Amino acid sequence: MSTHHTTTGTLNAGAVHALAQARHLLVDLDGTLVRQQEAIDGAARLLAHFHDRYAIVSNNSTHTAQGLSVRLRKLGLRVPPERIVLAGELAVRQLAQQHPQARVLLAASAALQRYARAQGCRLVSAEAEADIVLLALDMHFSHTRLSVIANALRRGARLMVTNADATHPGPHGRVVPETGALLAAVVAASGVQPWCVVGKPAPLLFEEGLRRLGAHAGRTVVVGDNPLTDGEGAARLGLACVLVGESPGAVAPTVAGLLVQPVSEAVEPAPQYRLSDSTSKVWRSVRTEVS
């Protein structure tokens, strides 16, 4: 059990000040608001308190915002799709807008594949046809799929990845393998490093969240559970960050602990991620913006 967070009800002064001054929140999803098929204690109350002044900013590359909004509603979290920013959707939009003629080999969920087609992406299945491989969280990833992707990259296709998280937190202390675990296999098989990683800690998701809220960085706080993605990403943009969970620097076990201390009246009411050794090297060697 980590001892890095403070006792419930006694948030450190920095966290209290940041939340008291916050006009807007950018909130992580997995490990912060939800843990697989359950909402985390305090999640609904935190979102209700900030009402229309928050956006969820997540490395999720399985769902679309529309589908995730429906899923969250079933867990008691009412979040409109326009306030959900996802790495998978953002990666697809970047490709569609900046590389409209590229032939894309997409390893992803059926929902993200449908979204990519709707955005006008030219999806291909043969390794010889691919200009770009976009790797997302593909629950049906297989040896055959790995072979096709590795050989497409060896033939000269560029590798774009939604995020490099190796895992995200599951229930009962379990971990759920993430896109970064697939990335480790792809890099090992192909010898090719990513040309672009879209998700946190890269700035694109945070910037999109700020844009949708019309928010100013100086009055916006990031709430997350992962210092490698939420914490580092916030720091890159000069955003304050409050961490929850069991990570070093966490101020409370869950977001429920953020609500114990009263937030300033000036504000209108309203288990860990990790990067594998191989994928953590990605952050030191690749560009984090599509060019």
Mean pLDDT for the chain?
87
pLDDT at 1: 34
- Is pLDDT at 58 greater than 80 in this prediction? yes
Q: What is the pLDDT of residues 157-211, one digit of tens each?
A: 999 999 999 998 877 888 889 999 999 999 999 999 999 999 999 999 999 999 9
- Is pLDDT at 9 greater than 50 in this prediction? no
The fold of the 88-199+276-285 domain, in CATH, is Rossmann fold (3.40.50)
Domain locations in the chain? Answer: 13-86+201-259, 88-199+276-285
Q: Decide if 135 contacts 183 (C-beta within 8 A).
A: yes
User: In the structure, what pLDDT confidence band is assigned to residue 2 with cuts at 50, 70 and 90?
Assistant: very low
CATH architecture of the domain with residue range 13-86+201-259: 3-Layer(aba) Sandwich (3.40)
pLDDT at 18: 82
Task: Enter the pTM of the model.
Answer: 0.85
Higher pLDDT, 4 or 218: 218
Can you say how many angstroms the Cα of residue 31 is from the centroid of all Cα atoms in its chain? 11
pLDDT at 92: 98
Strands 132-135 and 103-107: parallel
pLDDT at 261: 52
pLDDT at 278: 40
- Is pLDDT at 269 greater than 50 in this prediction? no
User: What is the rounded CA–CA span in Å between residue 281 and residue 274?
Assistant: 13
Q: What is the pLDDT of residues 64-103, one digit of tens each?
A: 999 999 999 999 999 999 999 999 999 999 999 999 999 9
Same fold, 13-86+201-259 and 88-199+276-285: yes
